[in-house]
Structure 1
Amino acid sequence: MGHVDGSLAAPPQIVDGQSNPAYWSWYVRDQYVLTWINLSLSEAVLPNVINKATAFDAWSALATIYASGSPVIIGQLRKSLLRLSRGNETIHEYIHRAKAIYDKMLALGAAVTEQELVVALLDGLDEDYRPFTRNLEARLSEVPLAGA
């Protein structure tokens, strides 16, 4: 956790005019942590940290974004929800992915309703599902998430 929370600060890069091996050891570990952070992020979030030099810088940027309920992140998530498309996923995977986006939006304090989630789910289904989705859309106010 030291690289992420800043409690393990970088040692001096140069000591007595010489390259400091402790710094390079710290740097390699920090870059591993930074890479792990970057690989853990969605494409929507990654641009916010991709140019950060240290794990602490990246983590601090994420903390700032998410602590404030960032309108930018909420907007990106809303776009993801509105552009939802099932593709080759199973229905279960598709609903799970949509619900994850919805949950992230709620966690950030976004004003999003379960009905918006259901509409996005229905809109993202292909033509094979149109008879089913038209029927559901006609009764949309009655459809809970568990029924989608």
Structure 2
Amino acid sequence: MTTSLAAALGAPPTDKLTMANYLYWKAQVLPAARGAQAMGLLDGTDPAPEKTLEAEDSEKKKIRIPNPAYGVWIVRDQQLVSFLVKSISTDLLGEVLGLEHAAEIWAAIAAKFAAQVKVRVGTLTAALINTKKRDLSATDYINKKKGFASKFASAGRHVLDEELKEYLLAGLSGEYNGLVAAVNANPASTSADVCNQLLADDPQV
């Protein structure tokens, strides 16, 4: 790498991790890690290579020598560790003290806030289910549903297009039975098809 990982990551988030802003903090850290091609270090899919390699000395005896690949890996890992630690508030640093690698720190933070994320996902799911079109214009209805769906990303979950399509259909009243039947009759239909049909049929738009 011609550019160090630290430079690729850039400055840590100015809003440090607290008990109240995990999802917002995570939404800032993940793009930095992706942009620096460091997601493997973060999620553990880029594990540490062996520290040493087997070789032979001048007398053909088996010896262990430092593995250059480990040296490269540990430098990148520790740069990411520094980035993460600098982005955590003093009150929460105790949660990661003693953890040496980026993946360990990331997993510990995720575990601490797992319940909070679960509540957030549940709240957004309820919002998607309970939002009905009723007197909303097609545009407002679609924007509300898409708005809730987009917020799932901050919780580490993505709403699939098929799911969004079902959420859109579920919020329609009986007057849209024909539209619902037409969409369900076509397995290849998408959420965009539902939106386009709603916009075309709704006089309020």
Shorter-chain TM range is: 0.5 to 0.7
1: distance between equivalents of 2:142 and 2:134? 12
**Secondary structure of 2:159 counterpart:** coil
Provide the aligned length of Structure 1 versus Structure 2. Answer: 92
SS in 1 for 2:151: helix
After TM superposition, the score normalised by the length of structure 1 is 0.53
Helix, strand or coil: the match of 2:131? Answer: coil
TM-score by length of 2: 0.40
137, 140, 144: which one aligns with 1:90:
137
Give the direction of change, closer, same or farther, for the CA distance of 1:138–1:110 in structure 2 (3 Å limit).
same
1:71, distance to aligned residue in structure 2 (A): 1.4
Instruction: Answer yes or no: is 1:116 the counterpart of 2:176.
Output: no
**Which residue in the other structure is 2:191 paired with?**
145
Corresponding letter in the other structure for 2:193: G
- Aligned partner of 1:129 among 173, 176, 191: 176
Structure 2 CA distance for aligned equivalents of residues 60 and 88 of structure 1: 40
- Give me the identity figure in percent: 23
- CA deviation profile, 1:76-108 (whole Å, cap 9, x unmatched): 101111222112110111011000111101332
CA RMSD of aligned residues (A): 2.4
Q: How far, CA to CA, are the matches of 1:64 and 1:105 in structure 2? A: 14
> Offset at 1:143?
1.6
Alpha-carbon distance change, 5 to 106 in structure 1, aligned in 2, over 3 angstroms: closer
Counterpart check, 1:81 vs 2:128: yes
Greater Rg over alpha carbons, structure: 2
Correspondence for 2:22 among 64, 73, 94:
64
SS at match of 1:133: helix
Distance 1:107 1:65 in 2: 6
TM-fit CA distance, 1:5: 5.0
Code of the residue aligned with 1:80 in structure 2: it is A
Secondary structure of the residue aligned to 1:100 is: helix
CA deviations 1:33-54 (Å, max 9, x no partner) are: xxxxxxxxxxxxxxxxxxxxxx
What letter is aligned with 1:127?
G
- Post-superposition, which runs of at least 4 consecutive aligned residues in structure 1 deviate over 6 A? none
Q: Deviations over 1:105-125 (max 9, x none)?
A: 133211531111111111101
- Decide whether aligned partners of structure 1 residues 134 and 112 sit closer, same or farther in structure 2, where only a CA change above 3 A counts: same
Q: 2-side partners of 1:110 and 1:5: how far apart?
A: 22
Report if the CA contact (8 A) 1:65-1:73 is conserved. no
